[in-house]
Structure 1
Amino acid sequence: MPRVSEGTKLTQVEHILASGSATLDFAVKGENNYYTWEGPENADWTAENVLRVENDDEDRLILFPENEYFTCEVEHDSNGVEIVRCK
């Protein structure tokens, strides 16, 4: 799985797998592998315009967008810590 970090913008994200260990896996249209972001414990990430959330298993959630896709950006907050914002 390709890793993503600050400065990455992913478009056409079909769904997001989120784990309690601050790992996000992004399913991008037309790609065979997930793109993965590993944040620090208690990492700050948000996903807006979520249609539904499903449990993949006890430690993982699947988030689906209201519209066709999410757009997700990895950036730094005011303290220099990596964060993810998906809309």
Structure 2
Amino acid sequence: MTRITQSTRLEQVEHILGSRTNILDFAVKGENDYYTWDESEDADWTIEDVDYVENVEEDRFILYLQGEYFTCDIEASREEGNKGPVRCWCEESKDK
């Protein structure tokens, strides 16, 4: 797991794993570990173009997208308690 501690853009995000404990994990194509964003309780995040949500465990869920990949702009300034915003949306693959 790689902690997101500064503002960044993630491309080719295959799915997003979320939890009620204020964590978003981003699975990026070709990466072995998740990129983890730890949010404050009142954080601002929006994920568009979600096809469906699957419950993994009692407090964990996976967001699957309608397109091929999510692109996510993520604001962060520390390891824990970030307020965002986080904005994710689908874009067509550049490989096409």
TM-score (norm 2): 0.80
1:47 corresponds to? 47
The AA in structure 1 aligned to 2:48 is E
| Deviation, structure 1 residue 6 | 3.9
2:17 corresponds to? 17
- Paired positions, count: 84
The AA in structure 2 aligned to 1:43 is A
| Deviation, structure 1 residue 22 | 1.5
Gaps of 5+ in 1: none
Runs of 4+ in structure 1 over 4 Å off: none
Asked if 1:29 is matched to 2:26, the reply is no
What's the % identity of the aligned pairs? Answer: 58
Contact 1:6 1:82 in 2 (8 A): no
TM-score (norm 1): 0.88
Map 1:57-68; keep pairs closer than 5 Å: 57-68=57-68
Gaps of 5+ in 2: 77-82, 90-96
SS of the residue corresponding to residue 82 of structure 1 reads: coil
